Amino acid sequence: MARELSARGLDALSLARYGMRSEVAEIVIGILMIKAVYQGETEDLPGTEELPGVDIARWHAALGVPPLQPASPLPRGFTWLAYSKEQIFPSISRIHRWIEAVPLDDLVSLAPPRNGELPSSAGETADHGLIEHYTWAVDHFATTFYTEWRTKSLHLALRWLDGDAVPPCPDELMHDRPISRGEIEAEIAKRAVYGEPETGSSEPSLVHEMTRHADGLLRQGRHREAAAVFEFGTRHRPDDPTLRNNLGFCLIPEDPREALRHLQAAGDMGYKAPLTNAYNQMCCFAGIGRSRAALNVAESAWNLPVTHHTPGGHLWRRKDEGGWELFDCDDTRSSLAGLAASIAAEEGWGDEEATWRSRSADRPAVS
């Protein structure tokens, strides 16, 4: 495939090095992060089954990141976060240099540097314009929806249509995928007016990897370790509402007050699933004995316009014997009403319980 792309005028190695640099770097960071979370353990890590043959220990050695010794579960203070900040974050630029220097096969297999540690400096990093152009190529050929394109890619595509930008491959190859000027202009205008966040174009992204690994931890009852994964992420991306929401979600069973702070911040940032965020906030309010606040959140969320079906996912529910358990919900709106009814019942608020019981069975038409 790489030879075919190159034969048609699109340099496959440059496409991987520059167009997918962020995605490759995020996977390597995720590898380092996983071992940090598990304090040196390397066997049977949740989520690593999709990375066969990746030598985590060699990556630590190559980047000069000292491994942690196997130990008991992480302490309450998340002491490994300081380790991540001091040891893993400074490796990002060196990972970028590795991406810019190694053969394509090594990029695909995530093979750590063969000759000992990667030098701390490997010359100048890639030209930013080169990265933007090959990122545009990735969006152009591999991303279905314009809503998922990087903003710079949209700008370059429009300039190319105007004859004002040179693509990273021949026009003939670019025309293999027709693009719509009107849709590109509309997406650019929408972002200019509403400032909609970009979703990114490639998976697995760092957020995707974090979510997979945190899910494995949560299902083992290791709530604080799962929260530590997203704490790492929020330090890297402090304005990401998904990371902030997920951090709060992980903390609900252990520290509902702290969880609420993160969930409210995610809501203020415009988290993409407001009903899910509201449900999570309700769990927190219930956990700290503020039932009225929980029902107020439920009422506000219930009154949001129903523009699409609200598929659920993983949510918390209280167990009869106390504590919380994960469950897979089919519809967040219905689950929110059910939780509100349960809270009202515990408080003896019969009229409100009846209202929410009725709502929990209601499936309104999508407007």
pLDDT level of residue 348 (50, 70, 90 thresholds): very high
Is residue 181 predicted with pLDDT exceeding 60?
A: yes
Decide: residue 118, CB within 10 A, 0-12 exposed, 13-18 middle, 19+ buried. buried
Residue 137 in any domain: the answer is no
Residue 43 lies in a domain: yes
Residue 356 has pLDDT above 60, yes or no: yes
Q: Which of the residue ranges 48-57, 90-99, 123-132, 145-154 would you say has the lowest mean pLDDT?
A: 48-57
At 71 the pLDDT is 47
Question: Residues 278, 336: contact at Cβ < 8 Å?
Answer: yes
pLDDT score at 206? 60
Per DSSP, which regions of the chain are E strands?
311-318, 324-331
Question: Do residues 8 and 169 lie in contact, with contact meaning Cβ atoms separated by under 8 Å?
Answer: yes
Rounded Cα distance, 81 and 65, in Å = 14
Mean pLDDT of 296-302: 95
Please check whether residue 210 lies inside any domain of the structure: no
In the predicted model, is pLDDT for residue 262 greater than 90? Answer: yes
Over residues 169-177, the mean pLDDT reads 90
- Residue 333 to residue 330: CA distance in whole angstroms: 9
Find the domain containing 298 and state its range.
Answer: 276-360
Give the relative orientation of helices 181-194 and 151-161 as an angle to the nearest 10 degrees.
140
Residue that the structure tokens 């297999």 belong to: 109
Q: Is residue 237 part of a domain?
A: no
- C-alpha–C-alpha distance, residues 73 and 69, integer Å: 12
Nearest-CA neighbor of 184 among 209, 214, 157? 157
d(CA 54, CA 30): 12
- Rounded CA-CA distance 354/145 in Å is 43
Coil, strand or helix at 261: helix
Tokens of 52: 């066969």
Last residue of a domain, one of 109, 128, 160: 109
Mean pLDDT of 277-301: 96
CA separation for the pair 326, 135 (Å, rounded): 38
Alpha-carbon span 107 to 51, nearest angstrom: 13
Query: 118-132, 257-271, 281-295, 296-310 — which one is most confidently predicted on average?
Result: 281-295
What confidence tier does 296 reach under pLDDT thresholds 50, 70, 90? very high
Cis, peptide link before residue 113, omega less than 30° from 0: no
pLDDT of 312 over the 90 cut: no
Instruction: Provide the CA 164 distance to its chain's centre, in angstroms.
Output: 34
Distance (Å, whole) CA 124 – CA 103: 18
Residues 13-54: tens digit of each pLDDT: 888 888 888 778 878 877 776 665 554 444 444 444 445 567
% pLDDT > 70, the chain:
74
**How far apart, in whole angstroms, are the C-alpha atoms of residue 56 and residue 35?**
8
Identify which has the larger pLDDT, 202 or 318. 318
What is residue 282's three-state secondary structure? helix
Given 87, 109, 131, the domain boundary residue is 109
User: Is residue 228 in some structural domain?
Assistant: no
AA identity, residue 268: D
In a domain, residue 301? The reply is yes
Q: What mean pLDDT is predicted for residues 170-187? A: 91
State whether residue 255 is helix, strand or coil.
Answer: coil
- The number of domains in the chain is 2
| Exposure of 305 in the CB half-sphere (CA atoms within 13 A) | 2
Q: Which amino acid is at 342?
A: S
Residue 325 bridge partners (DSSP): 317
- Domain contains 250: no
The pLDDT of 169-180, averaged and rounded, is 90
Is 340 a residue whose pLDDT tops 80?
Answer: yes
- Domain end, chosen from 109, 129, 152, is at 109
Instruction: Determine the average pLDDT of the residues in 146-152.
Output: 86
Given a contact cutoff of 8 angstroms between Cβ atoms, the answer to whether 19 and 135 are in contact is yes
- In this prediction, residue 90 carries a pLDDT of 66
Q: Is the pLDDT of residue 121 over 60?
A: no
Q: How confident is the model over 233-261, as pLDDT tens digits? A: 776 677 788 889 999 999 999 999 999 99
Q: What average pLDDT score do residues 296-314 get?
A: 78
Cβ atoms of 284 and 273 within 8 Å: the answer is no
pLDDT in tens, 191-215: 787 765 544 444 335 666 677 778 8
Mean pLDDT of 184-192: 88
Average pLDDT, the chain: 79
Of the pLDDT bands very low, low, confident and very high (cuts 50, 70, 90), residue 142 is confident
- In angstroms, what CA-CA distances link 334 with 48, 180, 189, 302? 34, 39, 35, 10
List the structure tokens of 125.
Answer: 């990093």
Question: What's the whole-number mean pLDDT along residues 165-185?
Answer: 91
Cβ–Cβ under 8 Å, residues 305 and 233:
no
User: Predicted confidence band at 72 (pLDDT cuts at 50, 70, 90)?
Assistant: very low
User: Is there a domain that residue 328 lies in?
Assistant: yes
